[in-house]
Amino acid sequence: MKKNTATSLAFYVPYALWIVLFVIAPVILIIYQSFFDIDGHFTLDNYATYFQSGTYIMMTINSVWYAFLITLVTLVISYPAAYLLHYAKHKELWLLLIILPTWINLLLKAYAFIGIFSQDGGVNNFLGLFGIAPKQILFTDFSFIFVASYIEIPFMILPIFNGIEELDEGYVNASRDLGAKWSQTFTHVILPLTMSGVKAGVQAVFIPSLSLFMLTRLIGGNRVITLGTAIEEHFLTTMNWGMGSTIGVVLIVAMFIIMFLTGERRKKGAKRA
Amino acid sequence: MKKWKWTNLYLIFVFVMLYVPIIYLIAYSFSEGERMSGFHGFTLAHYAELFADTRMIQIVVDTLMLALLSSLIATIVGTLGALAISRTVRPLVKNTVLSLNNILMVSPDVIIGASFLIFFTALKIPLGFGSVLMSHIAFSIPIVVLMVLPKLQEMQQSMLDAARDLGSTNSQTLARVVLPFITPGILSGFFMAFTYSLDDFAVTFFVTGNGFQTLAVEIYARARQGISLEINALSGVMFIFALLLVIGYYFIQQGSQSRKAKHRKESEAIIHEAAH
């Protein structure tokens, strides 16, 4: 018995150390840091600045709005794709092809769009075929949302696909046998039953979208400022870690709100069922 | 039949959307000239330039070494963590640990980067290879746990009981029964950790000092200066590498599935024989 506890203790140590040092400590440190000003004095000024100056509030609202748009675009594209994928032949292969682009570094994909969207790039050349003059596409809100959605699509398709895979085909057939139209089957049976996948996808896309600072720099041309951009700016450029941490705390709070909203309430349902 | 075709069209549209930028990127790596516009004729000059760029080669090697080392350590710690979680009896402790495990999975990269930067600075750990390695290990551990844990839960208690009844010690059970059973999960975890490390930009950007560069950080720096078709050539090489990784991953998964199928067949055969 004694040996038993000793071996299990050996299992716990490295993992427990990781939890304490790299999960709990950093969260505490970022909250702690948010109470210090640039000179290292304890203060509540950062929070006062955040809530009183309109710019930070506006920036937060903007960031959430962009994240919402990105999530919406990816969801609208991904749901039908995941649904069709479920019924496709060779779906493992298709799925693999969806995952493959996520293995290409994000920066390379962003870099590709610098070429595609540039003044004499692919899109403008294509428009030129129809006699449309070159447009400024790069460094616009559109380009930012487009590229961010492009990058996030596989992360939306996968959880929705998994959700649909779990769907019991019997319900769909039953609904059809009972005379429901396809649209009724979809809204009353398929969508509610695959909601957990949608929620997981929204969570997987919305939270990172709040913090895509490299895209705002490379594609958004500093026109779009997200919470992530602001944190990066404060930590690495202006070196005002206190303010950066304050925005970080806001981002953490936003993260928990989203996790709460998209959280699994399946437990309750499962009990009832 | 008609409907089937139409739906396939949408899937193909999505795939074209996903792959056009990558193909565009790679196509221009073979273009003469210096910009990603108007294909100017075939050349391998950018690849020659890439392979002559010792700084870039060094960065690629560093990035791969970092990914290999961090995913290896993360796999060990993560597997131990999964074993620890599966041994936990009290549900409250188990759920708390699992929630803590998932914090780094859902945290935005910027938060991980910024909080690790504060952490390393507070402990006076110099920024560079060491801090980047520790960060990569740290954010890869939870995915390993999540890959190994289901395998452990799949494992039947009767197997462990059988091993114990046959007189094996705890460490023997672990080495001969548990580990072989969860190996597919461990391998998946390792692969995921490896890709997490290769793919990361934001966390590395925060915790790397001036001395150590990864590929993503270098590409970011170069992309901000404008287009250089050497990066396109690099994309071509990386794409082939990613392709090989995916194929490797696919075979590992297929292998574990066919092994499972084989097991099922074997046990079915045994049952069959017993019935006769």
- Per residue, what are the HEC states of B243-271? HHHHHHHHHHHHHHHHHHHHHHHHHHHHH
Instruction: Using a pLDDT cut of 90, give the percent of chain A over it.
Output: 40
Residues of B within 8 A of A29 (CB-CB) are: 115, 118-119, 122
The verdict on A11 touching B (C-beta cutoff 8 Å) is yes
Helix or strand run (H / E) with residue B24: helix B2-27
Tell whether A273 is covered by a domain. Answer: no
Tell whether A1 is covered by a domain. Answer: no
Residue B226, by phi and psi: left (phi above 0), alpha (psi -120 to 50) or beta?
left
Indicate the pLDDT class of residue A273, thresholds 50, 70 and 90: very low
Tell whether A198 is covered by a domain. Answer: yes
Tell whether A4 is covered by a domain. Answer: no
Residue A213 confidence (pLDDT): 87
Residues of A within 8 A of B19 (CB-CB) are: 101
Please state, in angstroms and as integers, the Cα–Cα distance from residue A58 to each residue in A21, A52, A54, A102, A205, following that order.
34, 11, 6, 32, 22
Shortest Cα–Cα distance, A54 to chain B (Å): 23
Q: Which residue of A has its CA nearest to B25?
A: A112
For the record, the structure tokens of A83 come out as 């649904």
Asked whether the beta carbons of A25 and B100 are under 8 A apart, the reply is no
A209 and A259 part of one domain: no
Collapsing DSSP states into helix, strand and coil, what is residue A41?
coil
The verdict on A105 touching B (C-beta cutoff 8 Å) is yes
A39 and A156 part of one domain: no
The Cα B111–Cα B122 span in angstroms is 16
- Number of compact structural domains in chain A: 2
Instruction: Using a pLDDT cut of 70, give the percent of chain A over it.
Output: 93
| Nearest-CB residue to A232 (from B25, B104, B110) | B110
Residue B131 confidence (pLDDT): 95
A32 and A70 part of one domain: no
* pTM (whole model) above 0.90: no
Residue A218 confidence (pLDDT): 86
A208 and A243 part of one domain: no
A133 and A211 part of one domain: yes
Q: What confidence tens digit (pLDDT) does each residue in B172-210 have? A: 888 888 888 898 889 989 988 998 898 899 999 999 988
The Cα B40–Cα A225 span in angstroms is 37
Tell whether A15 is covered by a domain. Answer: no
Tell whether A57 is covered by a domain. Answer: no
Tell whether A249 is covered by a domain. Answer: yes
A255 and A213 part of one domain: no
Collapsing DSSP states into helix, strand and coil, what is residue B129?
helix
Interface test with B, best of A103, A129, A164, A232 (most B CBs within 10 A): A103
The verdict on A80 touching B (C-beta cutoff 8 Å) is yes
Residue A268 confidence (pLDDT): 39
Report the CATH number that the domain containing residue A113 is assigned in CATH: 1.10.3720.10
Q: Which residue of A has its CA nearest to B171?
A: A7
Tell whether A115 is covered by a domain. Answer: yes
Cα radius of gyration (chain B): 24
Q: Where are the beta strands (DSSP E) in chain A?
A: none
Residue A217 confidence (pLDDT): 85
| Nearest-CB residue to A12 (from B15, B84, B219) | B84
To the nearest 10°, report the CA torsion of B89, B90, B92, B96. -40
Q: What confidence tens digit (pLDDT) does each residue in B152-180 have? A: 888 888 888 888 888 888 778 888 888 88
The Cα A13–Cα A208 span in angstroms is 31
SS3 content of chain A, % helix, strand, coil (to 5): 80, 0, 20
A80 and A47 part of one domain: no
- The verdict on a CB contact (< 8 Å) between B110 and A112 is no
Q: Looking at chain A from residue 172 to 191, which residues have their Cβ under 8 Å from any Cβ of chain B? A: none
A236 and A160 part of one domain: no
Please state, in angstroms and as integers, the Cα–Cα distance from residue B70 to each residue in B6, B57, B132, B182, following that order.
45, 20, 9, 20
Burial class (CB in 10 A: 0-12, 13-18, 19+), A91: middle
For the record, the structure tokens of A38 come out as 């640039």
Collapsing DSSP states into helix, strand and coil, what is residue A244?
helix
A135 and A240 part of one domain: no
A111 and A234 part of one domain: no
What is the DSSP secondary structure assignment for residue B29, as one 8-state letter?
A: G
A27 and A82 part of one domain: no
A250 and A194 part of one domain: no
Q: Which domain holds residue A134?
A: 65-221
